[in-house]
Structure 1
Amino acid sequence: MTKKIAISVPDDVAERLAKEPNVSAFITASVRGLMAGERTRQALREVGFVLTDAGLAEAGRKLDEAQAKITPELRAKAAALLSESSRGRLEIRD
């Protein structure tokens, strides 16, 4: 079942949405992604993880820093290793 709703958004969001061929699908996917994150955080809390906004922000910064270190050359090398390992030809070197 679907429900039609009207929303108000800031200009920058409206400009972004205007680029989408199917705004409803885009919004649905975006909100479902947020809902999945909420479920994940809730599950982590239920098994004892203490999640704070500050801790999540710090983890996000660390992830951004790590991703920034991935060069195109490193990405290509990783893809080649993955390809070789999936064919059973990976040679482990020290």
Structure 2
Amino acid sequence: MTRRITVSLPDDVAEYLDSHPHATDIVTNAVRARMERAEETRKALEAVGFRSTPEGRAWARSVLRPLTEEQRAEVRRRSALIQAGRSEEI
């Protein structure tokens, strides 16, 4: 089953999607990947003893600032090093 929804996107993202004949697939894959990352994160946290609840997530969102683009780039850099087996370079 599918549903049609309407969203507002930044111009650059809308232009990118406009240029692809399968924009729905691109959006679907991106959202599913995000959902999977969230689930993997939840499982990893629970594996080390953290129990995530809706109230706890709401509290964290209220007090923690989103990562800056520089912080995101650093997380990606460190992740790539770990995946390459070069964690000693972190």
- Max radius of gyration: which structure? 1
1:31 alignment counterpart: 31
Report the Cα distance in structure 1 between the residues aligned to 2:7 and 2:37, rounded to whole angstroms: 23
1:16 alignment counterpart: 16
Report the Cα distance in structure 1 between the residues aligned to 2:46 and 2:23, rounded to whole angstroms: 35
Report the Cα distance in structure 1 between the residues aligned to 2:32 and 2:13, rounded to whole angstroms: 18
Q: Point out 4+ residue stretches in structure 1 off by more than 3 angstroms.
A: 56-59
* 1:62 CA displacement: 2.1
Aligned length: 63
Q: 1:62 aligns with which of 78, 81, 85?
A: 78
Q: Which has the higher contact order (CA 8 A, sep 6+)?
A: 2
In structure 2, stretches of 5+ residues that fail to align are 51-65, 82-90
State the identity as a percent: 31
* 1:49 CA displacement: 7.0
1:3 alignment counterpart: 3
Report the Cα distance in structure 2 between the residues aligned to 1:29 and 1:2, rounded to whole angstroms: 14
User: Structure 1 residues 46 and 7, CA, compared in 2 at 3 Å: closer, same or farther?
Assistant: same
TM-score computed with the length of structure 2 as normaliser: 0.57
TM-score computed with the length of structure 1 as normaliser: 0.55
In structure 1, stretches of 5+ residues that fail to align are 67-94
Question: What are the Cα deviations for residues 20-60 of structure 1, in whole angstroms up to 9, with x where unaligned?
Answer: 1111111111100101100100000111177xx77x84442
